[in-house]
């Protein structure tokens, strides 16, 4: 009887905590909706954007084959300004850490193809997924895209190059092609229809060769070609478990890593030699 009572007490407490949690979450949502996570400062309407990501941490494990993320959100239409004739568009960008990258161009020298000129892009996104309800140039103007760094070609490609290299545009295009081939720049254009006037979602695949670090998901809401709201969500890509241990060991203690690699080779070679002795 006592035991039963204790159980019941525990159960009640548990229920209580759930309801508190629900209340808390509800309050947070209310706060988010009321004050807005968006900044439609230059817009005339007060349509808002609420968005989130299915996972905020992507872990690369030793069997990592990539990870699928869902970006979802809702347009919180202002009842007074909602217009049924207006065209709403959403653009979602997921960008990886901005890392310096050297782009090299091959030229034919003495009959063989050799890396010759190179340009270093100092802060281009290492990873970039772009989803939009329509092709970018149908949504808005090039100026708006460039101002908000939306689109592969409209990033700020700060670069360092030696004198005599004039074809920077060619290097930018080469950079983008390489990234697309590696699956590190992905275009999901036309594949993200608005589920309704208010709901949208994009399915995003993070491939295995993704660089680690701080990612950001940016969501832009356009109404008749005008940017009326933006929203950001952070995402961290980390190496977890075995692969993280190996990678960090190799980079932080390279001498010990080298010795360990030698020991493993010597031991396994010796083991093989003993096992197959017949």
Partner 1 sequence: MPFYLPIAEMSLNVFLLLIMGGGVGFLSGMFGVGGGFLMTPLLIFAGVPPAVAVATEANQITAASVSGALAHWRRGGVDIKMGMMLIVGGAIGSFIGAEVFAYLRTIGQVDLMIALAYVLFLGSIGSLMLIESINAWRKRNSGVVSRKKRNHNSWIHSLPFKMRFRKSRLYISALLPIGIGMSVGVLAAIMGVGGGFIMVPAMIYVLGMPTNVVVGTSLFQIIFVTSTVTFLHSVNTHTVDVVLAVLLLIGAVIGAQVGVRVGMKLKGEQLRILLALMVLGVCIRMAYGLLSEPDELFSITEVIH
Q: Between 49 and 212, whose beta carbon lies closer to partner 1?
A: 212
Least distance (Å) between residue 263 CB and partner 1: 10
Tell me: does residue 84 bind partner 1 (CB under 8 A).
Answer: no
Using CB under 8 A as the binding rule, whether residue 105 contacts partner 1 is answered as yes
Q: Which long-range contacts (CB under 8 A, 24 or more apart) does 81-87 make?
A: 81/44, 81/45, 81/46, 81/47, 82/47, 83/223, 86/223, 86/224, 87/223, 87/224, 87/225
Whole-number minimum distance, CB 166 to partner 1, in Å?
Answer: 15
- Burial pattern 165-199, b for ≥16 Cβ within 10 A else e, equals eeeeeebbeebbeebeeebbbbbbbeebeeeeeee
The pair of structure tokens assigned to 135 is: 């092709």
Q: Tell me the two tokens of residue 169.
A: 């545009």
Q: Which is nearer to partner 1, 36 or 211 (CB)?
A: 211
Q: Which of residues 179-208 bind partner 1 (CB under 8 A)?
A: 179, 181, 208
Contacting range for partner 1; rule: CB under 8 A; set: 26-34, 132-140, 151-159, 252-260: 252-260
Phi, psi of 251 (to 5 degrees): -95, -30
52 versus 244: smaller Cβ distance to partner 1: 244
- Residues in a beta bridge with 52: 72
DSSP label of 158: -
46 binds partner 1, rule: CB under 8 A: no
- Please choose, from the candidates 211, 255, 239, the residue with its C-alpha nearest in 3D space to the C-alpha of residue 60: 239
Residue 154 lies near partner 1 (rule: CB under 8 A): no
Least spacing, CB of residue 246 vs partner 1, in Å: 4
Instruction: Examine residue 59 and tell whether it contacts partner 1 (CB under 8 A).
Output: no
Residues of this chain that bind partner 1 (CB under 8 A)? 60-65, 99-108, 111-115, 118, 120, 126, 170-171, 173-175, 177-179, 181, 208-209, 211, 239, 242-244, 246-247, 250-251, 254-255, 257-262, 264-266, 268-270, 272-274, 276-277
């Amino acid at each position: 009887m006592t035991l039963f009572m204790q159980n019941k007490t525990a159960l009640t407490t548990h229920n209580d905590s759930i309801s508190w949690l629900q209340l808390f979450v509800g309050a947070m949502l209310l706060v988010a909706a009321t004050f807005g996570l968006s900044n439609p400062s230059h817009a005339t309407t007060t349509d808002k954007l609420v968005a989130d990501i299915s996972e905020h941490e992507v872990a690369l494990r030793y069997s990592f084959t990539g990870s699928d993320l869902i970006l979802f959100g809702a347009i919180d239409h202002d009842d007074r300004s909602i217009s049924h004739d207006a065209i709403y568009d959403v653009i979602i960008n997921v960008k990886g850490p901005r890392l310096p990258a050297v782009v090299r161009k091959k030229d034919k020298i003495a009959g063989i193809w050799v890396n010759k000129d190179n340009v270093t892009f100092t802060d281009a996104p290492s990873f970039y997924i772009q989803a939009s309800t329509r092709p970018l140039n149908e949504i808005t103007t090039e100026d708006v895209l460039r101002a908000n760094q939306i689109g592969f070609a409209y990033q700020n490609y700060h670069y360092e190059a030696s004198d005599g290299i004039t074809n920077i545009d060619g290097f930018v295009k080469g950079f983008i092609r390489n990234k697309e081939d590696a699956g590190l720049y992905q275009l999901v254009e036309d594949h993200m229809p608005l589920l309704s006037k208010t709901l949208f979602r994009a399915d995003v695949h993070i491939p295995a060769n993704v660089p680690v670090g701080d990612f950001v998901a940016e969501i832009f809401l356009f109404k008749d070609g005008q940017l009326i709201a933006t929203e950001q969500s952070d995402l961290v890509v980390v190496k977890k478990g075995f692969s993280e241990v190996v990678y960090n060991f190799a980079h932080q203690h390279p001498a010990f890593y080298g010795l360990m690699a030698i020991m493993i080779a010597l031991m396994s070679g010796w083991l093989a030699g003993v096992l197959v002795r017949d």
